[in-house]
Structure 1
Amino acid sequence: MAHPDPHAALHARQPGAQTARLWRIWMPVGLIVTVAGVLWALLTAPMPPEPIAAALPPAPAAAAALPPVTIVQTENVAPCDSPEIAELLASGDDDAVVAAWGGGRAFRDAIVAGDADCISLNEPQRLWLVVNKRRSLEPQNYAPKPLAIPAAIREGDGDYLRADVTEALNQLSKAAQDAGHGEVVLGSGYRSHAVQVQNFQSHIDQFGIAEAEAQSARPGHSEHQTGLAADVLACESHCSGILDFGDTATGRWVADNGWRYGFIVRYDHGQQGITGYEPEPWHLRFVGKELARAYHEGGFTSLEKFFGLPDAPDYIDEW
């Protein structure tokens, strides 16, 4: 009869042997589970995004065909160097010159700043002419052409104005009528040098030299000789006197609206120390629509201040 091995029973009861057996059984199962988890993670992971360039739609064919943009720097041309300004000056279209310059304000600013060498305030045929007690006409016997008679006149000396001024005065008179203020009638317009000699001497004979020079211009210093100046009357059922013009509804309307037609009141109230003349609300000076607008909008009351010129309260030499 065989006897059991006491050592074998002892080994069977030791826990280490059982653990080793279990490890040998479950180790393959763990490896299988781990591998399966890795494969699952790879299969279910999100795909990386496509490159941005690949995701954008292709450029339209028209855009692809556009030429490259070239930036060109242009040099500013001074108005006096502009062929357009030169051509307009030669044509005599002064209002167009001022418009091409950038308007009345820009034109005036350039003259005041000394940046308008091609513009002279002495040329008697120009709308921007300034003639006063310190600035005489050159030549002294200058005569404007062509002349025309306005639609509404009071017969007498000086029925003519420059043709362009005549047209503007006709428009002004019609606008005054349309506004319910009657006609603006020409009382005195162009006077030749010879006529101004007689007119000035008449004032001297009547008032003396000091008062004559406050009311009338010496020959060669008169705006009337240019054909650009108009002494006007207000006429409804009858015509008021010239000295009453500023107190009429027509006179007030002209003072407020004359600039729309190219006119300014040349000798305004409170300007005698600058212009040398007592107020003359009836004395309209044509400067063209562009300059008249700048004059009005700038609140100016004399051409001397408008163009930055010295005051001209009196003559340099005695009569």
Structure 2
Amino acid sequence: MPPAHSSSRRENRVSRRVRLARRRAVAIVLVLVVVGVAAYLLTRPGVAEADGAGDPPSAPSSPVATPEPEQPSATPSPTPTAEPAVCDDPALIDALDNGSDADVIAAVGGGDAFREVVASGAAPCIDLTDATRTWVVVNKRNALDPIDYWPTPQAQPDGIRVVSGGGWLRADAAAALDELAAAIVADGVGTLGVDSAFRPYAFQVDLYNGYVASRGQAAADLRSARPGHSEHQTGLAVDVVACDNGCGSHDGFKGTAHAQWLVDNAWRYGFVVRYEDGQTDVTGYSWEPWHLRYLGPELAVAYHDGGYRTLEGFFGLPAAPDYDS
């Protein structure tokens, strides 16, 4: 039988081969693990960009916005519509063509509305230089057109004493003056008389020239209108005096109870005191508490309630202290 040491050597060789095979197997496994891990790291998303490998850099792409939640649709705003032009109103057109002054004022919406559209320039069809209308503005800048205008129809008031002249006025102004004269008596203040009413153009020529001759032109222009610029020629203006124990004068009218009553109440009958104290820089005339101007009830109420003291201010017109030439 073989010697014992030979068998032992064979066993040792087999043992070494087994150990070597195991080492190789472990090495192979380790290599495979390393290769697998490397492959995983190289193919993992974002690694190439993180370590600078891969494609060359390019401009950053815009981030994809998260869609906004759908908003409820807003109620569309109404499309603004232009206010219809005042002068395009069929009612106003008809009133201007066929109606009275009161009809025109009513078509606009009353005295306050009339003043507003005229003063704002929104109603160019309403002419403040039309001598046939109660709203005419006659002053040192606005002459009558035609220069020799003559109002019709005219009437004489029959409830008030006529001191001088014929006392003629436009018919509606004459009727309103009768009511005013009766009211001042009823209130226990006293009686009034008409000192001057309608004046034709030719009469105003003589009157103004007389003032110029006696006082000089500068003083005359403060007291009397030049021909064609007088409210008296419209038939809408009247000068009154107190007539209790005989009739007084213009200058004597200042400070009387009659004058104060007119300030407080004339508007109720369609009249205003045209040339108030302290308004010469606007009207161009000295204080004349006796000079009443007929506007009609609607405009006179608006004038009073608005606290106006001149027609120029009432209608938004420039002051007229002097003549243009």
TM-score with structure 1 setting the length = 0.73
The answer (yes or no) to whether the contact 2:242–2:248 under 8 Å persists in 1 is yes
Distance 1:195 1:158, change over 3 A: farther
Deviation at 1:79, TM superposition (A): 3.6
In the alignment, does 2:178 pair up with 1:170?
A: yes
In the alignment, does 2:196 pair up with 1:206?
A: no
After the TM superposition, which residues 34-183 of structure 1 pair with which residues of structure 2 at under 5 Å, given as runs? 77-151=84-158, 152-183=160-191
What CA distance in whole angstroms lies between the structure 2 residues aligned with 1:158 and 1:226? 15
Deviation at 1:142, TM superposition (A): 0.4
What CA distance in whole angstroms lies between the structure 2 residues aligned with 1:75 and 1:313? 38
AA partner of residue 301 (structure 1):
R
Determine the structure 2 residue equivalent to 1:238.
246
What CA distance in whole angstroms lies between the structure 2 residues aligned with 1:209 and 1:300? 29
In the alignment, does 2:234 pair up with 1:226?
A: yes
Once structures 1 and 2 are overlaid, which stretch shifts more, 85-94 or 173-182?
A: 85-94
CA deviation string 1:88-111 (max 9, x = no partner): 222341123213312211111111
In the alignment, does 2:260 pair up with 1:252?
A: yes
Determine the structure 1 residue equivalent to 2:193.
185
Q: Give the counterpart of 1:262 among 266, 270, 275.
A: 270
Distance 1:244 1:298, change over 3 A: same
What CA distance in whole angstroms lies between the structure 2 residues aligned with 1:84 and 1:119? 14
The answer (yes or no) to whether the contact 1:158–1:191 under 8 Å persists in 2 is no
What CA distance in whole angstroms lies between the structure 2 residues aligned with 1:184 and 1:96? 31
Distance 1:253 1:122, change over 3 A: same
In the alignment, does 2:279 pair up with 1:274?
A: no
What CA distance in whole angstroms lies between the structure 1 residues aligned with 2:252 and 2:106? 35
AA partner of residue 83 (structure 1):
P
After the TM superposition, which residues 1-16 of structure 1 pair with which residues of structure 2 at under 5 Å, given as runs? none
Once structures 1 and 2 are overlaid, which stretch shifts more, 182-191 or 233-242?
A: 233-242
CA deviation string 1:109-146 (max 9, x = no partner): 11121110210001001111001011111000100001
Deviation at 1:77, TM superposition (A): 4.8
Distance 1:92 1:285, change over 3 A: farther
AA partner of residue 147 (structure 2):
Q
CA deviation string 1:209-264 (max 9, x = no partner): 11001100000000000000000112223222222223111211111100011001
AA partner of residue 164 (structure 1):
D
The answer (yes or no) to whether the contact 1:173–1:183 under 8 Å persists in 2 is yes
After the TM superposition, which residues 289-300 of structure 1 pair with which residues of structure 2 at under 5 Å, given as runs? 289-300=297-308
Unaligned runs of 5+ in 2: 1-80
The answer (yes or no) to whether the contact 2:163–2:193 under 8 Å persists in 1 is no
The answer (yes or no) to whether the contact 1:150–1:186 under 8 Å persists in 2 is no
1:251 aligned counterpart, secondary structure: helix
Greater C-alpha Rg: 2
Q: Size of the alignment, in residue pairs?
A: 244
AA partner of residue 126 (structure 2):
I
Identity of aligned residues (%): 49
Deviation at 1:75, TM superposition (A): 9.5
AA partner of residue 144 (structure 1):
P
Determine the structure 1 residue equivalent to 2:7.
none
Q: Give the counterpart of 1:309 among 295, 303, 317.
A: 317
Determine the structure 2 residue equivalent to 1:216.
224
AA partner of residue 156 (structure 2):
I
What CA distance in whole angstroms lies between the structure 1 residues aligned with 2:163 and 2:186? 24
CA deviation string 1:21-58 (max 9, x = no partner): xxxxxxxxxxxxxxxxxxxxxxxxxxxxxxxxxxxxxx
